[in-house]
Homo-oligomer: A and B are copies of this chain.
Amino acid sequence: MLTKHGSMLLEREDVKVFDCTIRDGGLVNNYHFTDEFVKGVYDTCVKAGVDYMEIGKNNSPTLMSEDEYGAWNFSKEEDIRRIVGENNTNTKIAVMSDIGRTVKEELLPKSESVVDMIRIATYVHQIDEAIELVEEAYAKGYETTINVMAVAKVFLEDIDEVLEKLSKTDVDVIYLADTFGSFYPEEIKQLTLRYKKVADASGKRVGIHAHNNIQLGFANTIEAMHCGASFLDCTISGLGRGAGNCAMELLLSYLNDAKYDQLPVLKFIEKYIVPLEKELDWGYSIPYMISGQFVAHPRDAMKARANGDMNYVDFYRKMHKNKIDEM
């Protein structure tokens, strides 16, 4: 129906658009992006008004091979500065720490780094280590998030326990991460409200990281936002592992806020994503859909896609069997 001109939504000052193009996209190509591409993403984020750009992971070179993985798996200070200089912009820089792959002593004090935020990806069973890392990063001067992964396979009572623990830490943002791309909007609603309740009571914010396995990456992101999530993850053209992520171009247009501009994103897509689509595979397809429906890790679907395997019925049966075997 026709509605009045101007914003359909009230602007939400707490909303932050969070770009993960390089960090989640690096899961597709082991972080072998050219500097030109990474600089392109950075310039796009700055021009588009994106609030945060996650430039990579800060895994330790003592724990993962620099021959196998590109620079953005490690995100050394000098590499980041080669792209962003002193980053005198409104776009903050974030890096992601994987529990078990980072060495907290390697984290520079914020005064020596252009990084603004450390995001800590953790499974429920690693939560104590994750909290230790939060406190280390907080003490060194960084903003922090904890992204609790794989919650689709965790009992609600255990999620509550994790949230309770996190409420007592110095973490700034607690992230709901739909690791398997399996959640429907009504589940996102229930969970976001659950996270939001604890976050509100402890002065923290909630974030959402959605995947597109069942074509709900964007829909789940805006559902979470409606339920009070402030930090909204997205990637340019949905670039990311498997079915990819919430697309930045959809989100910026939806937010309908003069602060954001979709055009630089379209420009980047035209120049860098169109050629990349010929090299890398990501985005919605039937194997990723099945993987999401079975709440499974995307690895089998990624293998099927890499092999050009179109035997969807066999793939469905295999995933069904795996699920039965797990029970």
- Chain A residues proximal to chain B, CB less than 8 Å: 1-2, 8, 151-156, 159, 184-187, 190-191, 212, 214-219, 222-223, 226, 247, 249-250, 253-254, 262-263, 266-267, 269-270, 274, 284, 286, 289-290, 293, 310-313, 316
Contact residue among B159, B226, B274 (Cβ-Cβ distance under 8 Å from A310): B274
Give Cα distance in the complex from A254 to B214, angstroms.
Answer: 10
Q: Is there contact, CB below 8 Å, between A270 and B216?
A: no
Whether A214 and B218, one on each chain, are in contact in the complex, defined by CB atoms closer than 8 angstroms, is yes
| Chain B contacts for A152, CB-based, 8 A | 1-2
A266 touches B249 (CB 8 A): no
Instruction: Find out whether the CB atom of B313 lies under 8 angstroms from the CB atom of A267.
Output: yes
Using known A-B contacts A185-B222, A214-B218, A286-B249, determine if residue A313 contacts B266 with beta carbons closer than 8 Å. Answer: yes
Q: A1-B151, A8-B186, A215-B219 are in contact. List 7 more A-B contacts (CB 8 A).
A: A2-B152, A2-B156, A219-B219, A266-B312, A266-B313, A267-B313, A270-B313
Given A1-B191, A159-B1, A316-B266, verify A185-B289 contact (CB < 8 Å): no
Which B residues touch A186, using CB under 8 A?
8, 226
Contact check, B153 vs A250: say whether CB atoms are below 8 A apart: no
Which among B154, B266, B313 is the interface contact of A263 at CB below 8 angstroms?
B313
Least CB distance from A95 to B in Å reads 28
- Do the beta carbons of B219 and A185 come within 8 Å of each other? yes
- The docked-state distance in angstroms from the alpha carbon of A151 to that of B2 is 8
Q: Is the CB of B269 within 8 A of A187?
A: no
CB < 8 Å: which of B153, B156, B289 contacts A249? Answer: B289
A–B complex contacts, Cβ < 8 Å, 11 sampled: A1-B152, A2-B152, A215-B215, A216-B219, A249-B286, A263-B316, A266-B286, A266-B290, A266-B316, A267-B312, A267-B313
Contact in complex: B270, A2 (CB < 8 Å): no
Q: Report chain B residues within 8 Å CB of A217.
A: 215
How many Å from the CB of A215 to the closest CB on chain B? 5
Distance in Å: Cβ of A191 to nearest Cβ of chain B: 7
The CA-CA distance from A268 to B263 in the complex, in Å, is 39
Residues in B neighbouring A312, C-beta threshold 8 A: 266-267, 269-270
Query: How far apart sit A92 and B63, CA to CA, in the bound complex (Å)?
Result: 61
Asked if residues B1 and A156 are in contact (CB atoms below 8 Å), the reply is yes
- Tell me the complex Cα distance, A153–B151, Å: 41
Q: Which 7 A-B pairs have the closest CB atoms?
A: A219-B219, A266-B312, A270-B312, A1-B156, A215-B218, A274-B310, A253-B293
Whether B218 and A216, one on each chain, are in contact in the complex, defined by CB atoms closer than 8 angstroms, is: yes
B218 touches A310 (CB 8 A): no
> Given A185-B219, A216-B218, A266-B316, does the pair A250, B289 have CB atoms closer than 8 Å?
yes
